[in-house]
């Protein structure tokens, strides 16, 4: 049997009344009878700001593996250089025209190699800048540093300057340059202005990639084709998301992004969440409407969508605070709605 609670009628009282007792929320003591107990609520402005965990792995110390591969690469380049030099000398010994032709090819190859190395270095530096912006913005949300927030916004405007679709957002954000805004609020304002159109486009890219994977893996006759297509679609999706948020990844940049995305999925337990979501969604009568191949296609599409959401977290220069994070459940509803319409 439950105890009968005594309901007190509404009444007015003064805060300086001796019968009014202001209690701490953590106080477990029982005050005397005949008194009015008041427990003040916490001020939302003073509550801690939820901040995401760092998406970049902790930097390690001296890495002998990097030294080994750097030395191997240097020896390989020296060997290729000596081989090319010997080849050009042999061509000159045989014919002067062949020697100049070989020398021209060598110069063109060297120039192209230098351009490729410069592009890879620029892409890696751009990715590192975006990662640092993410971490700096997360730190400002905690410290509320106004000067640091303005520096972050200036860096964001520099990255967004190359995107013509953000011209109106840049103008709106620059219009608040002279306003007195707290550091955390300025970061939230920049996120609303600059990230809103990018997040919408990112969701569209992830949804389209998941639908393509779902369709192809549902009709393909071989499992090898499924694996290759999912891998290619995932690489293409990650590259598109990186370019959307301002990154310019090359081959080495894509390897770095793939490592970060896979690590992010492993840390957040995304695959387990995807499996439970698939079981929950397909278990409510939808599995009976889909064949086994269509069910496998939906599963592959959802896993691709989860990988895309992780790529958004990795490539986005600002953490999710003012804007809602894209949810896998919404993408799953879009994917299943499309599959039911085709069925």
Half-sphere exposure of 153 (CA within 13 A, CB side): 31
Distances (CA, A) of 133 to 63, 210, 259: 25, 29, 19
pTM over 0.85: no
Query: What is the chain's pLDDT, residue by residue, as a tens digit (343 residues)?
Result: 444 445 556 666 666 666 666 676 666 666 666 666 666 665 554 555 555 544 444 455 667 888 888 899 889 989 988 998 999 999 888 888 888 999 999 999 999 989 998 998 888 888 888 889 999 998 888 888 888 888 888 888 888 877 777 888 788 887 776 777 888 888 888 888 888 888 889 989 998 888 888 888 877 777 788 788 888 888 899 899 989 888 888 888 888 888 888 877 776 554 444 445 555 455 444 544 455 666 677 777 888 888 888 888 888 998 888 888 887 776 766 666 655 555 5
| d(C-alpha 284, C-alpha 291), whole Å | 15
Distances (CA, A) of 254 to 109, 248, 257, 260, 311: 23, 9, 5, 10, 11
CA end-to-end span of the chain, whole Å? 54
Residue with tokens 């191949």: 293
């Amino acid at each position: 049997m439950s105890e009968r609670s005594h309901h007190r009628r509404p009444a007015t009282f003064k805060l300086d009344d001796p019968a009014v007792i202001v209690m701490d929320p953590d106080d477990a003591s029982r005050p005397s009878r005949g008194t009015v107990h008041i427990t003040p609520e916490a001020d939302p402005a003073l509550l801690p700001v939820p901040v995401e965990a760092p998406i970049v792995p902790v930097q390690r110390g001296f890495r002998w593996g990097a030294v080994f591969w750097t030395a191997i690469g240097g020896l390989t380049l020296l060997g290729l250089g000596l081989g090319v030099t010997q080849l050009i000398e042999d061509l000159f010994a045989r014919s002067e025209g062949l020697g100049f032709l070989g020398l021209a090819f060598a110069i063109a190859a060297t120039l192209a190699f230098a351009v490729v190395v410069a592009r890879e270095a620029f892409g890696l530096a751009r990715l590192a800048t975006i990662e640092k912006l993410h971490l700096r913005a997360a730190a400002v949300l905690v410290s509320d540093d106004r000067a640091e927030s303005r520096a972050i916004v200036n860096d964001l405007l520099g990255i967004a300057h190359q995107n013509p679709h953000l011209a109106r957002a840049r103008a709106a954000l620059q219009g608040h340059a002279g306003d007195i805004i707290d550091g955390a609020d300025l970061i939230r304002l920049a996120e609303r202005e600059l990230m809103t159109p990018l997040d919408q486009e990112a969701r569209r890219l992830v949804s389209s990639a998941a639908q393509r994977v779902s369709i192809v893996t549902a009709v393909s006759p071989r499992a090898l084709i499924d694996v290759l297509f999912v891998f290619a679609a995932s690489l293409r999706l990650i590259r598109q998301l990186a370019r959307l948020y301002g990154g310019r990844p090359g081959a080495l940049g894509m390897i770095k992004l793939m490592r970060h995305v896979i690590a992010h999925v492993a840390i957040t337990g995304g695959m387990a969440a995807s499996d439970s979501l698939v079981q929950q969604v397909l278990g409510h009568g939808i599995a009976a409407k889909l064949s086994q191949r269509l069910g496998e296609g939906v599963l592959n599409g959802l896993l691709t969508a989860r990988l895309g959401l992780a790529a958004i977290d990795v490539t986005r220069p600002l953490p999710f605070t003012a804007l809602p994070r894209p949810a896998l459940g919404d993408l799953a509803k879009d994917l299943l709605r499309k599959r039911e319409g085709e069925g």
